[in-house]
Structure 1
Amino acid sequence: MNKTEINTTRQKQDREDVISLTQELVRIPSVYRPGDPNGNEEKAANFVANYLKNLGIEVHMEMVNPGRPNVIGIVDSGKPGKTLLFEGHTDVVTEGNHDAWELDPFGAEIVDGRMYGRGTNDTKGNLACMITAVHSLLRNKEKWSGKIILCIPCDEEGFMTGIKHFIKQGWADDVDGAIICEPEENQVCIAQRGAMRIVINVYGKMAHGAISWSGINPNWRMAKIIVALEELEKSEQARLGKHPLLGWPSITPTILQAPYKGDAQINVIPDHCMTTLDIRTIPGLDHKELVKSIEGIFEKLAEDDPDFKADYEVIEDRPATNTDKEDQVVQAVAAAVKKVTTKEAVYNGVPGATDGTFLHVAGIPIVTIGAGDRDIPHQINEYVDVDELAETTEIYREAALTFLNDGVS
């Protein structure tokens, strides 16, 4: 059998493996549901840990929170060299209305070349790609130096406690580059928008709706805050412009709730109104300065209204990230894309934050790439093209060889 035949046989085996592994992962629901003993990542994590052990990979499991473990796989070549990290999380978002899906959201059925199900795209398909890529290296006894770490954390879709725990435990200390396995249509994403999550509370006085003067309506005050935030968003967009990879910064009110506790009633003025902000930032937008601007809105409204009473809490703060195009891990991934697809790499940015955000904060160069339409995550009828899973597996495999062999694959 010549080299071309060997390579074709290997690619066929890798394709079969990644499709099968994706299906097995998707069929293990791992939606975090507080209070539900089965509503966490533990079953998926246990499956992955056993799968890696069966490949002969050194495996560590660490419980981040009850029922929510991280899985860490270590593949050491036995030769000194760089350390490459692949990252893909086990948790998925809720399927939402189960009946609205055309196919079982946890069935992983393949129809016309697409696999459907929650996590096929974000990001169990890419988790399967990174595992299969490493399996391929081992099965074919490829030569390389250094070490590969498979970082498989919980809770990426929440507050990213898994990756924070991974870093705190020292696993990332000696990593030279990281590939974040998320659905990006196999574009080489070297930047990410930052994220802030803020809760705003406005307080009033409960009263009868027909006797409005006897109460203090927090809804009017909250409306003024939201209007002012819209103006702040516009001014920041005008000041910073549109980032070539990340688009516009944004300030988005999401949850709006009044009363905050208790039952709402149409003829009752609530005593408390709450909103949440999902803020996405780009390089050049300082988070501390943005918070000062929000405080300024509160101060201005309080000057004009003696009954204005509000506070805020920043519950999450993730910086924007950027990795130089010339960084070794970026160059290795771009070279792998060209080798596998025969096309030049397309560079882009990630519209949201990923676990890679905190690896970046820890000083690790990151690049995000993976199978799946960028607009499909978290939607009903989520899917991934199986051809793209096979392609991504090849890209990860070639990127690892190139990075760990200093550009020679």
Structure 2
Amino acid sequence: MPLTNLKATETYFRDRETVIELTQKLVRIESVYRENDPTGNEEEVANFVAQYLGDIGIETYVEEVVPGRPNVIGIIDSGKPGKTLLFEGHTDVVTEGNREAWKYDPFAAEIVDGRMYGRGTNDTKGNLACMITACQSLLLDKEEFTGKIILCIPCDEEGLMLGIKHFIKNGWADNVDGAIICEPEENQVCIAQRGAIRLRVDIYGKMAHGAISWSGINPNWRMARFIVEIEKLEKEEKARLGRDPLLNWPSITPTILRAPVKGEAQINVIPDHCMMTLDIRTVPAQNHDELLGKIDAIITRLKADDPDFKVNLTVLDNRPATATSKDNPVVRATYEAVAEVTGKEPIYNGVPGATDGTFLHVHGIPIVTIGAGDREIPHQINEYVDIEELAETTAIYRLATLKFLAGEDLQ
């Protein structure tokens, strides 16, 4: 339990008003990631954030990742030797979908009955506002700390994560001692993330009349055999690994299935080409190379049984699962901050999907994921965040920073 009620302080109420207003301003800028628009739409919100950071006295850099899609980096250097803490929160959001299906305008950031509605309120402009407000609060109160704070505000988290890759490539993540990934997790302390492998499977045949099937080679039969074998592999992996206490089960999920891949489908025509995508989600106990090897072995067996089995397997994405020890300083600082701000015992959990933090983890940085927002709400119509949770998250980020950069070794 906290020694003092942090939610009753002047700082808490000041920061509450700031984070609500900043979240509204961010949500009202339509920085929607669209798959068919490679230029994205983050430039306006990135420019706004860069201006905001500069206005509150934070050293700010803007780096274009691809045309129209910049990263924003903020640096707060105490001038004293110490550790470096990184906050990460992305600027892009997914499409709003059918606007007519929304109860409230998806880009108006309306507050109704204690909730703010809009695309990005939950994932993750609300949490982006929390991390900026927390740092602004430290500066306003002239809080003493050692080391450095880096604000990583990348583009393209909802796509191929080009922004965080560019951030790391340009050296910004070097010598970082811990990172807080600002995503909607109901302020649970998430110390693990499922990994992701995205595969495209192309199987080729010979086009023919459906009534004269012997004159063609039907790729659909071969894809069906492959899918059956993949389902068996998923069951084997679940039986082998069991249920992860934070991440639940590993999974192999067929998503897109298309035949023919090009041209118009007809009921009396055998297609010459069938395509499928697999969304594979892994747990830390799985080795991605070994799992891909098992899929290759399936293909080898199917080819041995069928000389007409012609397949091409393409790895579209490969992100490992992550796990951070409860004893790591960034986890301990965050856990203690949650306990003091909320007055409750924090909950450890895992992230069901991948985040930009995956690549920071690969770079050797311990990560913890935490933020405001219902875990089930991202990407939904009528997305929302509770405004009191925004205030709570801001206070957690603020206190976690002071604890991590206190100049004391938490290990």
TM-score using structure 2 length:
0.96
Q: Give 1:132's aligned residue.
A: 133
Q: CA deviation at 1:35?
A: 6.0
SS in 1 for 2:340: helix
1:207-260 deviation per Cα after TM superposition (whole angstroms, max 9, x unaligned): 222222221111111111111111100000000000111110000111111111
Q: Give 1:359's aligned residue.
A: 360
CA distance in 2, matches of 1:359, 1:86: 11
Q: Give 2:217's aligned residue.
A: 216
Which sits farther off after the overlay, 209-218 or 125-134?
Answer: 209-218
2:265 paired with 1:264: yes
2:105 paired with 1:110: no
CA distance in 2, matches of 1:93, 1:346: 28
Distance 1:408 1:113, change over 3 A: farther
SS in 1 for 2:9: helix
SS in 2 for 1:391: helix
Q: Give 1:297's aligned residue.
A: 298
Which sits farther off after the overlay, 191-200 or 202-211?
Answer: 202-211
CA distance in 1, matches of 2:176, 2:7: 32
CA distance in 2, matches of 1:245, 1:190: 8
CA distance in 1, matches of 2:37, 2:288: 35
2:10 paired with 1:20: no
Question: Contact 1:401/1:408 (CA < 8 Å) preserved in 2?
Answer: no
Question: Contact 2:35/2:159 (CA < 8 Å) preserved in 1?
Answer: no
Q: Give 2:92's aligned residue.
A: 91
Q: Give 1:171's aligned residue.
A: 172
1:61-103 deviation per Cα after TM superposition (whole angstroms, max 9, x unaligned): 1111111110000011111111100000011111122221111
Aligned pairs for 1:324-335 within 5 A: 324-335=325-336
Which sits farther off after the overlay, 231-240 or 215-224?
Answer: 215-224
CA distance in 1, matches of 2:251, 2:205: 28
Q: Give 1:311's aligned residue.
A: 312
Which sits farther off after the overlay, 192-201 or 298-307?
Answer: 298-307
Distance 1:274 1:248, change over 3 A: same
SS in 2 for 1:340: helix
Q: Give 1:231's aligned residue.
A: 232
CA distance in 2, matches of 1:394, 1:113: 18
Amino acid at match of 2:167: F
SS in 1 for 2:116: strand
Question: Contact 2:321/2:358 (CA < 8 Å) preserved in 1?
Answer: yes
Q: Give 1:40's aligned residue.
A: 41
Question: Contact 2:251/2:282 (CA < 8 Å) preserved in 1?
Answer: yes
CA distance in 1, matches of 2:35, 2:131: 29
Q: Give 1:100's aligned residue.
A: 101
Give the CA RMSD over aligned residues.
1.8
Q: CA deviation at 1:37?
A: 8.7
Q: Give 2:247's aligned residue.
A: 246
Amino acid at match of 1:354: T
Question: Contact 1:251/1:280 (CA < 8 Å) preserved in 2?
Answer: yes
Q: Give 1:340's aligned residue.
A: 341
Q: Give 1:321's aligned residue.
A: 322
Amino acid at match of 1:324: S
Amino acid at match of 2:59: E
SS in 1 for 2:202: strand
Amino acid at match of 2:187: N
2:182 paired with 1:181: yes
1:133-183 deviation per Cα after TM superposition (whole angstroms, max 9, x unaligned): 000101111111111000000111111111111011000111111000001
CA distance in 1, matches of 2:307, 2:205: 12
Q: Identity percentage over the alignment?
A: 72
CA distance in 2, matches of 1:103, 1:257: 35
CA distance in 1, matches of 2:5, 2:330: 27
Q: Give 1:387's aligned residue.
A: 388
Which sits farther off after the overlay, 286-295 or 178-187?
Answer: 286-295
CA distance in 1, matches of 2:5, 2:249: 46
Which sits farther off after the overlay, 258-267 or 223-232?
Answer: 258-267
Question: Contact 2:7/2:13 (CA < 8 Å) preserved in 1?
Answer: no
Question: Contact 2:203/2:311 (CA < 8 Å) preserved in 1?
Answer: yes
CA distance in 1, matches of 2:219, 2:61: 50
CA distance in 2, matches of 1:224, 1:35: 32
Amino acid at match of 1:217: N
Q: CA deviation at 1:275?
A: 0.8
1:193-220 deviation per Cα after TM superposition (whole angstroms, max 9, x unaligned): 1111111101111122222222111111
Q: Give 1:52's aligned residue.
A: 53
Amino acid at match of 1:136: S
Question: Contact 2:6/2:12 (CA < 8 Å) preserved in 1?
Answer: no
1:105-131 deviation per Cα after TM superposition (whole angstroms, max 9, x unaligned): 111111111111111111110000000
Q: Give 2:202's aligned residue.
A: 201
Distance 1:170 1:158, change over 3 A: same
SS in 1 for 2:403: helix
CA distance in 2, matches of 1:254, 1:288: 22
Question: Contact 1:192/1:352 (CA < 8 Å) preserved in 2?
Answer: yes
SS in 1 for 2:86: strand
Amino acid at match of 1:61: V
1:287-320 deviation per Cα after TM superposition (whole angstroms, max 9, x unaligned): 1111111111111111222211111011111111
Amino acid at match of 1:41: E
Question: Contact 2:341/2:396 (CA < 8 Å) preserved in 1?
Answer: yes
Q: CA deviation at 1:5?
A: 10
Amino acid at match of 1:313: T
CA distance in 2, matches of 1:23, 1:314: 39
CA distance in 2, matches of 1:184, 1:7: 24
Amino acid at match of 2:97: G
CA distance in 1, matches of 2:298, 2:232: 10
2:296 paired with 1:288: no
Structure 2 unaligned regions, length at least 5: none
